[in-house]
């Protein structure tokens, strides 16, 4: 039984896809009409190389996001380290001040 086109596409119940055209490419004086498979919702079913390219792009995006997160974490850790160093220096300065005051008090009480 012949398949009748719907919206310029030929639906296959058995495959659950339709065959139609998605692009026209001009090469010199020739026009190439490319056949493509479409899913039930009318979306082009990607070719293997297109799926691979999308997956690679997705992986690259994920890797870039993770790199940015790591960089942000590194910057946060560096800021925390600097803050801790400043606090340590402040504590050392206060300890020195306390030692000086104790020495001054000790000196005054012996006089």
What is the rounded distance in angstroms from the CA atom of residue 20 to the CA atom of residue 10?
6
Going by pLDDT thresholds of 50, 70 and 90, the confidence category of residue 2 is low
Q: What is the pLDDT of residue 3?
A: 66
Whose structure tokens read 């659950």? 16
| 3-state secondary structure at position 12 | strand
Q: Is 25 exposed, middle or buried (0-12, 13-18, 19+ CB in 10 A)?
A: exposed
Q: Read out DSSP for 25-41?
A: EEETTEEEEEEEEE-TT
Strands annotated E in 2-107: 5-6, 9-12, 17-27, 30-38
Summarised one tens digit per residue, pLDDT across range 14-49 is 888 888 887 777 888 888 888 888 888 988 888 888
Between 13 and 78, name the one with better pLDDT. Answer: 78
Summarised one tens digit per residue, pLDDT across range 40-95 is 898 888 888 888 888 889 999 999 999 999 999 999 999 999 999 999 999 999 99
pLDDT over threshold 90, residue 5: no
Going by pLDDT thresholds of 50, 70 and 90, the confidence category of residue 10 is confident
**For the chain, how long is the longest CA-to-CA vector?**
120
Going by pLDDT thresholds of 50, 70 and 90, the confidence category of residue 110 is confident
What is the rounded distance in angstroms from the CA atom of residue 70 to the CA atom of residue 63?
10
């Amino acid at each position: 039984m012949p398949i009748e086109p719907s919206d310029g596409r030929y639906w296959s119940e058995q495959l659950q896809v339709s065959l139609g055209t998605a692009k026209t490419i001009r090469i010199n004086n020739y026009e190439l009409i490319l056949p493509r498979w479409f899913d039930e919702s009318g979306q082009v079913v990607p070719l293997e190389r297109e799926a691979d390219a999308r997956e690679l792009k997705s992986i690259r995006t994920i890797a870039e996001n993770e790199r940015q997160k790591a960089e942000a974490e590194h910057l946060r850790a560096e800021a925390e380290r600097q803050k801790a160093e400043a606090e340590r220096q402040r504590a050392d300065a206060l300890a020195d001040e306390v030692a000086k005051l104790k020495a001054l008090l000790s000196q005054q009480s012996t006089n």
